Amino acid sequence: MTDPSVSPGRPAAAKADKTKLAKNQVAKTQLAKTKLTEVVVVCAKCAKRQGLRPRAVRALLKGAAKQAAKDGLLADRTKLCIVESGCLGPCPKRAVAVATGASLAAGRVVLLDPDSKPEEALAAVLRPVLPQPRPPNSAPIRP
């Protein structure tokens, strides 16, 4: 039988060498310091559906974070990185889907009212999201 992964114009030895190199290569990674404390992902599709200009939610949250830092409500080192993305999943009719690292770790997306005050919007985004207890994968073990 012929190997379907090998094309007729390519010898089998060339494929074997290529896979051998891929197994022996080790990814080199490095870590770097950053001043960012939180990354906020905003659904651009939801913002457009609400009739907001492209970076309106970003401007709303950035302005609120700067004002809160001036007032001393946030830690001195709080710096947000607000990024627009594609669809985050839920498509609310009267809200904008926003996610943070903590909310994604908990399996949640924050639904933000675009008419809310900047302070309320920032509090809704940065508040800690408590993870929901997950049901066990199997039946309990009986003695």
The three-state DSSP-derived secondary structure of 35-71 is: CCCEEEEEEHHHHHHCCCCCCHHHHHHHHHHHHHHHH
Of the candidates 100, 105, 63, 69, the one whose C-alpha atom is nearest the C-alpha of residue 83 is 100
DSSP-based three-state secondary structure for 84: strand
pLDDT band at 66 (very low <50, low <70, confident <90, very high): confident
pLDDT tens digits, residue range 84-97? 888 888 888 888 99
Q: Which of 8, 69, 9 is nearest to 38 (CA)?
A: 69
Calculate mean pLDDT across residues 17-34. 69
84 and 54 Cβ atoms separated by less than 8 Å: yes
Please name which of 108, 109, 117, 127 lies closest in space to residue 61, comparing C-alpha atoms. 117
pLDDT at residue 140 tops 80? no
Please tell me what DSSP assigns to residue 103: H
What is the C-alpha to C-alpha distance for residues 113 and 52, in angstroms, rounded to an integer? 12
Average of per-residue pLDDT across 100-124 = 86
Q: What is the mean pLDDT of residues 65-77?
A: 75
Who has greater pLDDT, 10 or 77?
77
pLDDT tens by residue, 126-136: 876 555 566 66
- pTM, rounded to two decimals: 0.64
Share of the chain above pLDDT 70, in %: 67
